[in-house]
Amino acid sequence: MTSTEKLLVVLGLLALAFVPGCAQGPDTLTPPAVTRSPYDSSRGDVLFAVAPLVNESGTTVFQPDSVSDALVRSVSAVEGINCLPLNRTLTTMRGMGMRELTSPNEVSALADALGVDGLIVGTITAYDPYDPPTLGLSLALHAGPVGHSGSLNVEELRGTITDPDAPESIRYIEAPIATMSEVFAARNHAVQMEMKRYAEGRSEPSSPRGWRMYQASMPLYTEFVTHAAVSSLLDQERLRLARARRPGSSR
C-alpha cells in the first residue's frame, strides 16, 4: 500500500468518526426525559394517590382501570413524588362506601383516609385505539387536608374556595390546585413531536418502528399520554406555586 493509499484510509476513518451515531457506537444509551416535582422535597418525597378515572369517552371497548394504572405509573415516575397503588385507593374507597367521587367533600375525605399530600381525580374524555390512536384526559389535583407526609408547606399547597350557600362548618371547600384537560390525537404533528421526545431513551432508534412504536400500540400510547398529562398538570402547579411565592402575593 502506497503512502497516498494509507493517507486515504486514515482520512476515511476520521470521516466515519464524525458521522452522527458512529462516534457514539451502537451501545451508547440516551437517558429519557424525566418529570420533576414542583415541590421542595428537601424533607422527603411527597405522597400522591390517583382516584379511578371515570369513563366519559362514550365507548366501552376498554377497561378504564388500565388507564388509571398507567396514570399511577406516570405519577410514580416523577422525581420527588411517590404514588399509592391503584388497588390501595380502590380498597379504601370500597371501605368508605364510595364507587366514585361525586363531591369535593368526598375528595377531601378520601385524601384524608389515604394519608396523602395530593389526590388526582379525573375523567377519560376520549378513547380510540385504532391507528392513529386518540386518548383524552381531564385531571384535577387536590391537596390533602393536612399534609400528612410533613414534606410540604400545607398553606402553600392548599387551595380553597368559598361557597356562601354551604353550612358554616363546611363553607371552605377544597378546590383543585391544578387542572389540565387535553385530547391527545396521534395524527396531530405537535403530539407526534412530543411523542418522539418521550421515546428518546425509551426505545431503540434502530428498531423498525423507532419512536412510532408508541403510536402503534394503545398500551404504549396510553403510557405516553399519561406521562404528558402528568407533566402538564405539574406544570400548572409549578406556575401556581411561583405566583404564590411572589412578593406581595395574597397566597
Domain boundaries defined on the chain: 35-244
The residue whose grid cell reads 457506537 is: 25
Measured CA to CA, the distance from residue 216 to residue 30 in angstroms comes to 22
Measured CA to CA, the distance from residue 179 to residue 229 in angstroms comes to 10
Torsion sign, CA atoms 228, 106, 152, 246: positive
Pairing of strands 160-162, 172-174: antiparallel
Check residues 242 and 209 and name the one with the higher pLDDT.
242
Instruction: Please tell me the CATH code under which domain 35-244 is placed.
Output: 3.40.50.10610
pLDDT band at 6 (very low <50, low <70, confident <90, very high): low
Measured CA to CA, the distance from residue 211 to residue 91 in angstroms comes to 37
DSSP structure class, residue 210: G
* Residue-level pLDDT at 57: 96
**Cell triple for 224:** 405516553
* Residue 179 DSSP SS3: strand
> What distance lies between CA 227 and its chain's CA centroid?
4
* Residue-level pLDDT at 246: 74
Mean pLDDT (the chain) is 81
Weakest mean pLDDT among 41-45, 70-74, 182-186, 206-210:
206-210
Of 131, 127, 114, the C-alpha closest to 49 is: 114
Buried b (16+ CB within 10 A) or exposed e, 4-15: eeeeeeeeeeee
Return the percentage of the chain with pLDDT > 90, whole number.
Answer: 55
* Residue-level pLDDT at 214: 86
How many CB atoms neighbour CB 88 within 10 A? 14
Pairing of strands 134-143, 54-55: unpaired
pLDDT digits (tens, 9 = 90+) for 133-159: 999 999 999 998 754 444 454 444 444
pLDDT band at 202 (very low <50, low <70, confident <90, very high): confident
Weakest mean pLDDT among 116-130, 132-146, 171-185:
171-185
